[in-house]
Amino acid sequence: MVEVICTVDVVLLTIRDDTLMTALIEREHAPFAGQYALPGGYIHAEEDADVHASAMRVIAGKAGIVPPYLEQLATLSGPGRDPRGWSLSIAHYALVPCEIIENAVGSQVHLLPVDRLPALPFDHARIIGMAADRLRNKSQYSSLPCFLAGDTFTLPQLQRIYEIVLGEKLNKVSFRRKVTEMDMLEPVEGCFESAGAHRPAQLYALKSSSRSKLMLLERGL
Q: Whose CA is closest to 215, among 158, 141, 156, 160? A: 141
Query: Do the beta carbons of residue 152 and residue 186 sit within 8 Å?
Result: no
- Which of DNA, a second copy, none interacts with 198 (beta carbon under 5 to 8 A by kind)? DNA
Nearest residue (CB) to a second copy, 32 versus 86: 86
- Alpha-carbon distance of 158 to 182, in angstroms, equals 14
CB 144 within 8 A of CB 69: yes
Number of residues that bind a second copy (CB under 8 A): 26
SS (H, E, C) 181-212: HHCCEEEEEEEEECCCCCCCEEEEEECHHHHH
Query: Binding to a second copy by residue 51, rule CB under 8 A?
Result: yes
Report d(CA 199, CA 104) in Å as an integer: 34
Rounded least distance, CB 46 to a second copy, Å:
5
Nearer to DNA among residue 87 and residue 159 (C-beta): 159
Q: How far apart are CA 95 and CA 118, in angstroms?
A: 21
Under the criterion CB under 7 A, does residue 156 sit at the interface with DNA? yes
Q: Applying CB under 7 A, which part among 44-52, 95-103, 149-157, 205-213 lies near DNA? A: 149-157
Q: Which residues contribute to the site for DNA (CB under 7 A)?
A: 154-156, 171-174, 176-178, 192, 194-202, 219, 221
Q: Which residues contribute to the site for a second copy (CB under 8 A)?
A: 1-4, 6, 42-46, 49-51, 72, 74-79, 85-86, 88, 90, 219-220
